[in-house]
A and B are shown apart, each in its own frame.
Chain A
Amino acid sequence: MEFTRRDTLGLALGAAALTVLPFRANAAAEDAIAEFTGGADMAEGGVTLTAPEIAENGNTVPIEVSAPGAAAIMVLATGNPEPGVATFNFGPLAAVQSASTRIRLAGTQDVVAIAKLADGSFAKASATVKVTIGGCGG
């Protein structure tokens, strides 16, 4: 397995985040995932999460999720005090299983999307969003 410089940096940041984050925040995200998937394995691929690499302000971060054929997509912000963001349930008249919204991120962190696919399996995607601090006012 090869790591790009970016991957390595990401891992290092992730490890740092795991170290400093309050234990409960991660546990809460894991609990939410377990509740959604029933503990099933999650494949990579099958769900797309689009988020900016750098958010100009953490109060309003545009994201889009998409998973062709999915029944539902859950979005979590793993570094927020409460990781839950939204769960999109798609009905028969959803033309595509895709939606956009704007979310709050308490700081730089991984945003995770988990889709329940048409065959009942689950897929996961994640994106690291860097949340910047403003100019003088912060």
Chain B
Amino acid sequence: MASGVKPRVKVPKTAAAGEAVTIKTLISHKMESGQRKDKEGNIIPRSIINRFTCAFNGEMVIDVTMEPAISTNPYFQFDATVPEAGEFVFTWYDDDGSVYDESKSISIA
């Protein structure tokens, strides 16, 4: 696992059934593009998070294919419908095979 990777996710604690909620996600990752060179002039190999997904109670909200043009410490904001109480699961897939996940539960107010 790449060192220092840590997700940060904002999800409201409660929502009305069927309500749309805004979700913000950040994860620390250098997103090495594969375009840069080191001091000796060698290409630094690409090492990025290449996919991000969000699902709620197993159903998909968003599935993002990511390329090296996504900035360091990738950020996504999107809106999800909350049909019932349950759990959001956020998953980031690293080029090196690592998978980082985070979950947030939400209750119906």
What is A's interface to B at a CB cutoff of 8 Å? 59-61, 64, 77, 80-96, 98-105
Contact = CB atoms under 8 A, between A and B. Distances in A.
Interface string B70-89: 11101111111101000000
A58 to B, nearest CB: 10
B59 interface: yes
List 6 A-B pairs, minimum CB-CB distance, nearest first. Answer: A91-B60, A95-B20, A84-B67, A95-B79, A100-B77, A102-B71
A86 B71 contact: no
A60 B26 CA distance: 13
Given A92-B59, A100-B75, 6 more contacts: A59-B71, A84-B68, A86-B66, A86-B70, A87-B65, A89-B63
Q: Is the interface of A mostly helix, strand, loop or mixed?
A: strand
A93 B61 contact: yes
A87 B69 contact: no
Nearest to A93: B61
17 contacts: A59-B71, A83-B69, A84-B68, A88-B62, A89-B62, A91-B55, A91-B60, A91-B63, A92-B60, A93-B60, A94-B80, A94-B81, A100-B76, A100-B78, A103-B69, A103-B71, A105-B69
B74 A101 contact: yes
B21 A95 contact: yes
B81 A93 contact: yes
Nearest to B78: A99
A11 B82 CA distance: 45
Most A CB contacts (10 A, CB to CB) among B21, B67, B72 go to: B67
B67 A94 contact: no
**Max chain B Cβ within 10 angstroms of own Cβ: one of A59, A96, A98, A101:** A101
